[in-house]
Structure 1
């Protein structure tokens, strides 16, 4: 966009702000033509505060700063397509302010050139004359200075008078030329005006007829425009709802994608945990197999121990039977011995000391035999109390040694 196109837009910025209330369609068409981008739309929609005036100012600023060379023509095309024909024609027909008329500048340049040429011509003539005069004088320095000052003053007065005369003459010539041109233009303008007046009257009559028909068409088109504007508003609301739904769907989709990513990470973690558990299960199965083998071996050992226990129980039963039989035999022998001891006790009252000592020795041997029998039966039956024979007494006690006299 060049300087002239920017000037056309800035001179019509008030009308643009009044008519471009909805900028979305214009921005969409500029995006389609690669003049704007989606980032420009974001900048326009997120201005602070988000008022229509702020959005329009941001839009105009981005439009004027666009580096694309065809931005102005794309903008005009977007205005035409969005039924802003008035604004498009106004932008095209805008006269740029700040330009100077061509005729005045031309006349000023012409007058300057004339003045410059006259001054150079006069200066050349006077310089030649002053040179000739200076050549004739051959006096002293003071006389030469007086002559030179006089000549210079004369030369300055003549130059000023010549310049003023030249300027007055040029002004008179320009005035006559301008009056002549004005007369010619007035004559041609009168002739053209008469012709144009007659043609315009004819055109006005036909224009009035056409205006009546166009008014009727305008009324019908206005009704059609109102109907289309209502339809456009409805479509605009539908488009807004569709955009909101699309944004919601996009948010849900992005959220579901994030959840899928999290589930994928969790799935990877579960896979690693499952692999570790499988390794642990394999190790536990191996250990279980080893325990099963050990358990089977222990079962076999238990069976062997049960068999050995059974055999030992049988042997113990046999030993118990032998013990009981031996016990009976010992008790029978004890009863016989006790009878013999009783008999001997009765008899010892009549015998001497040597016989008593022999009886004591026999009773000690009997006590030793009873201790052996009791030691064999300590685990299975009550221990038999040791008994000692005492010859000549009523109880069974160990006899005391006789005191020496």
Structure 2
């Protein structure tokens, strides 16, 4: 056991809260009735996406930077991050006049790279994973005598992140459960330390994506593989922390895994029901409620929307995919005779039934289309799945051969 885990304490989290006051936003923790209706739990959301950098990470970054000596601040700091820790370090290092170098994987969303540079840090892109990026950061740290600001496995960082739980339980003292996304474990290690000190009966449950179940494996003593492209790149951590792991194993109540599709659904729910933006990692807690609603039914659940830095193009793609999953955007392929007026007839059927055509592709020249025929790929909006099914039935009643398509399907 790493005895440095014993250095994590509620008293130091309280000191961290006093330190960051005025420099880091005390974000609201508010009831979310529409999410409650969706999940069956009594949901409260902590909006850490409202921070200047769009995520909770600046809490721990500031506490760590403040702990440095004058010589260390003059030499400068280095960090590895897929985005949110990078921005937190860059922003507060800039405020404090500390030179900062940030190493980021080359696949980091551009919105996070651009924002980090915008705070004045030197950004180095290296490797496809955090592990590969860290190898380059190790080289730069030694070459330039830079001070490490670890994204999670540092007691100062953990204490800073623990202030999230302090604020949540001050705003909503009778929460039954805190559901916390896990990457390397800094957020949940700090939060469980604070939460259990304030209310020993509150449950603290961690959430990871199924593609990166490192903490779940440590918690349950299972061998796991961490790999793959995930929408929750902020928690796509292969090498979890030593300090954080010991805290989690000692104090956290459970660790859950969620699928990529459930995270997509949670991102869409935050956008369409709460009118707020969540990145994949930020939506992981809500994804857990959507995955296992019975576990949380009737409980007062605090969710940490820990970050909102998502690529706008990815967000728009998710919205379209969720419309398709819900049956509100229907894509069909229609085999038709190649004669004038056919497209107008199809559009009229859809329009008369209050559907809205949003895209049409007309195929005549492909070899798998009869010489005297044509194929139409049509996407239309419907009120809901039954409404879309009635429109398709009406087209079939008119003699058209109609097949459903998945979004993105094209001619073979």
TM-score in terms of structure 2 length: 0.19
Higher normalized contact order (CA 8 Å, seq sep 6+, divided by chain length): 2
- Pair member with larger Rg: 1
TM-score in terms of structure 1 length: 0.19
Which structure's residues are more often strand, by fraction?
2
Which structure's residues are more often helix, by fraction?
1
